[in-house]
Amino acid sequence: MLLLLLGIIVLHVAVLVLLFVSTIVSQWLVVDGRTMDLWQNCSISSPDSIQHCSLSSTNEWLQSVQATMILSVIFSVLSLFLFFCQLFTLTKGGRFYITGVFQILAGLCVMSAASIYTVRHPEWYSNSNSSYGFAYILAWVSFPLALLSGVVYVILRKRE
């Protein structure tokens, strides 16, 4: 049982790290040496090799992506906190419903953010040489892991 509990905590922390990295790192879109993320657009000037950054545009869809990514991180942190609280206060045989619901909400928020970004990013920057960066891919990877973690929490029963 202790090994299962440790595995669940490791999975949850891995999801949390993926969410933090995908929200913060400037690699959602890569275009000819320029990186774009949810917060700023950066480019490297050739002669100086200096990185110049400007704030992202104020599109409503980009703000909704920012908000849902932040919500996913908040829900996941709250879920981890609630798990530890329930671990010590839940009666024997009880299920971790609240923890699971918050983790599933985190997964749905990151899915919504990545979906909106996928559909709307051509409006923001349309170039045939553009490709998705690793932070965007991490956001999509964290989605099924967060859902899996949430389902495991809902199924999990507390034992002595």
At 43, the amino acid letter reads S
**Per-residue pLDDT at 30:** 80
- Give me the residues paired with residue 140 across strands: none
Residue 120: which residues within 8 A CB-CB, separation 6 or more? Answer: 59, 61, 62, 65
**Per-residue pLDDT at 53:** 60
- Alpha-carbon span 65 to 136, nearest angstrom: 12
- Alpha-carbon span 94 to 92, nearest angstrom: 6
**If we measure between CA atoms, which residue out of 149, 160, 18 comes closest to residue 96?**
149
**Per-residue pLDDT at 128:** 64
Helix H or strand E segment including 44:
strand 40-44
**Per-residue pLDDT at 29:** 82
What pLDDT tens digit does each residue of the chain (160 aa) get? 788 889 999 999 999 999 999 999 878 888 777 777 787 765 555 566 666 665 655 678 888 989 999 999 999 999 999 999 988 888 887 888 999 999 999 999 999 999 998 887 765 566 567 788 899 999 999 999 999 999 999 998 776 6
**Per-residue pLDDT at 151:** 94
Placement of tokens 């749905």 in the chain: 108
**Per-residue pLDDT at 71:** 96
Q: How many domains does the chain have?
A: 1
CATH number at residue 134: 1.20.140.150
Structure tokens at 59: 């599109």
Residue 105, in any domain of the structure: yes
Find the distance separating the first CA and the last CA of the chain, reported in whole Å.
Answer: 9
- Write down the pTM of the prediction: 0.84
Is the CB of residue 57 less than 8 Å from the CB of residue 81?
no
Structure tokens at 97: 């419903």
> What range defines the domain where residue 94 resides?
2-155
Helix, coil or strand: residue 136: helix
Residue 18, in any domain of the structure: yes
**Per-residue pLDDT at 76:** 96
Q: What totals of helices (H) and strands (E) does the chain contain, helices first?
A: 4, 5
Residue 160, in any domain of the structure: no
Residue 67, in any domain of the structure: yes
